Structure 1
């Protein structure tokens, strides 16, 4: 059952990062676009919702933080080997 359990874990993480992270980014794009306002057909400008725009920026920051953390996690052994810096307090051999 260890193989089935490992496949299940890989499937869940793959769905989370493979579909969840781009979906979160798309929500951030949508909020940013709705918060920006638009130009109407008669030439007047409608102001958007600044709270939606700010929430979009927060979501972008969360996505960027997840990507940076993942890259550091992948390269943690190399960084430790060459620079003797432990980025994460666990996961070293």
Structure 2
């Protein structure tokens, strides 16, 4: 059962990161467009709340990508620059 449990964890992480981040970005773009009143299905003028929600979602997607790149390169950053970005448990 340990193998099945491990496979399910990898599958869940892959779905979350592989499809979740692009979906988050797409929702952010859609919310920003709706906030600007640029969508055909938009029922009215500008909605600043949707516009800022879109900015937040796109920014969150970009932040997740940056943290992911830093996580992958953490050992290299430690080796070449003696730079520890994450807590000590990440380097053991």
TM-score range, shorter chain: 0.7 to 0.9
How many residue pairs get matched? 87
Higher helix share: 2
What CA distance in whole angstroms lies between the structure 2 residues aligned with 1:57 and 1:22?
Answer: 14
Q: Are positions 1:81 and 2:79 aligned together?
A: yes
Deviation, structure 1 residue 66? 0.5
Deviation, structure 1 residue 3? 2.4
**Largest Rg, 1 or 2:** 1
Q: Can you give the 5+ residue segments of structure 1 that lack an aligned partner in the other structure?
A: 39-45
Deviation per CA, 1:4-43: give whole Å up to 9, x if none. 22211110000001111111111111101111124xxxxx
- Structure 1, 74-83 or 19-28: larger mean CA deviation: 19-28
What TM-score comes out, normalization by structure 1 length? 0.84
Higher strand share: 1
Deviation, structure 1 residue 63? 0.5
What CA distance in whole angstroms lies between the structure 2 residues aligned with 1:91 and 1:24?
Answer: 26
What SS is found at the alignment partner of 1:91? helix
Q: Can you give the 5+ residue segments of structure 2 that lack an aligned partner in the other structure?
A: 39-43
Per the alignment, residue 42 of structure 1 pairs with: none
What TM-score comes out, normalization by structure 2 length? 0.85
